[in-house]
Chain A
Amino acid sequence: MRTPFGSSILDAACRLPVPFIILFAVYVVIHGHHSPGGGFQGGAILAATLILIRMVRGEDDPWGLDRTRAAILASCGVGLYAGIGLLTLVFGGNYLDYSVLPLPLVPEKVRFMGTLGIEIGVALGVTGVLVLIFDALTAGETQESDDGK
C-alpha cells in the first residue's frame, strides 16, 4: 500500500486520535494485571494504530512500520518471551518460573514483573504480526498500481 489513502482531511483527522489510542494500548498492556486486558489485546490496539497510519499516510511514512521492521518486531516479541524463560533457567529455576529473577523486590512482586515482561513480549509480537499480515495482504495492490502507471 504505497499510495496513500488519505486526503488532508483524513490526515488531520488521524493525527488527533492516534496518540490517545497508543496511550490506551500501553495502558491496556500495563494495567492488564488489574483489569481485563493484557498483551494480546494491547498489541491488537497498537497494531490498529499503526495500520491506521499506514492507510492514511502510505507506506513511506516514517511512522508506519514496513514489513521487514514488522517481522523484526514480531520476532523480538516472541524472543523476549522465550528469553525471559531462558533467563529463569540461567538463574536456576524452572522454565518461566519468574520468582528466581534477580530483582530487588519481594518475591511475589518479582513474579509480577516477570508477568509484565512476558505481556510486553506478547504485545510486541501481536503488533508485529498484525501489521505484517496487513502488509502482506496489501502488497499485491501496490504492484498493480505501479503497473498501471
Chain B
Amino acid sequence: MTPFHTRQCLTWLMMLVVAGILFYADRQLPRMGDPRSPASTHVSPYYIEHSHHETGAPNFVTAVLADYRGYDTLGETTVIFTAGLACLLILGVELGRVSQGEE
C-alpha cells in the first residue's frame, strides 16, 4: 500500500510542478488578438493586403489554407487517408472483394 501511495504523491507533485511552469509561461505569451503580437504585425497584414491579388481567392482562409499553406493541407489530407487505412487494418476488414450479393 505504501509504495502505491508514494507513487501517487509523486505523480501529483509532478503534475503540479508542470502546471505551475505552464501557467508561468502562459503569462508571457501575447494576449489573444493582441494587435502588437508578432503574428499580427508580420504575417497577418501580408495576407490581408496581398492574398486577394496574389491568389485570386476572395477569402483569406481559403488563400492561406490551400495556397500559402498548401503543403500543410496535403499533410492533413494524408493524415485522414492514413486514419482510414488504419481503421481497416485494426478492424481486420479485407479490401479487393467487391460484394456481388453471393447469397
Contacts from A to B (Cβ < 8 Å): 2, 32-36, 38-39, 59-60, 66-69, 71, 74-75, 77-78, 81-82, 85, 95-96, 98, 108-109, 111-112, 114-115, 118-119, 121-122, 125-126, 128-130, 132-133, 135-137, 139-140, 146
Contacts and interface: CB of A to CB of B under 8 A. Distances in A.
Contacts of B66: 38-39, 115, 118-119
Given A33-B62, A75-B81, A132-B87, 17 more contacts: A2-B101, A39-B77, A60-B99, A71-B84, A108-B55, A112-B57, A114-B67, A115-B55, A115-B57, A115-B66, A115-B67, A118-B66, A119-B66, A125-B77, A136-B93, A137-B87, A146-B103
B98 interface: yes
Interface in B65-103: 65-67, 70-71, 73-74, 77-78, 80-81, 83-85, 87-88, 91, 93, 95-101, 103
Interface in B14-69: 53-59, 61-63, 65-67
Contacts of B97: 68
Interface of B: 53-59, 61-63, 65-67, 70-71, 73-74, 77-78, 80-81, 83-85, 87-88, 91, 93, 95-101, 103
Contacts of A35: 59
A129 B95 contact: no
A77 B98 contact: no
B74 A81 contact: yes
B99 A2 contact: yes
22 contacts: A2-B101, A32-B59, A60-B101, A66-B99, A67-B93, A67-B95, A74-B81, A77-B77, A78-B78, A109-B56, A111-B56, A111-B57, A115-B70, A118-B73, A122-B73, A125-B80, A125-B81, A126-B77, A133-B83, A139-B93, A140-B91, A146-B103
B93 to A, nearest CB: 5
Contacts of B63: 115
Contacts of A33: 57-59, 62
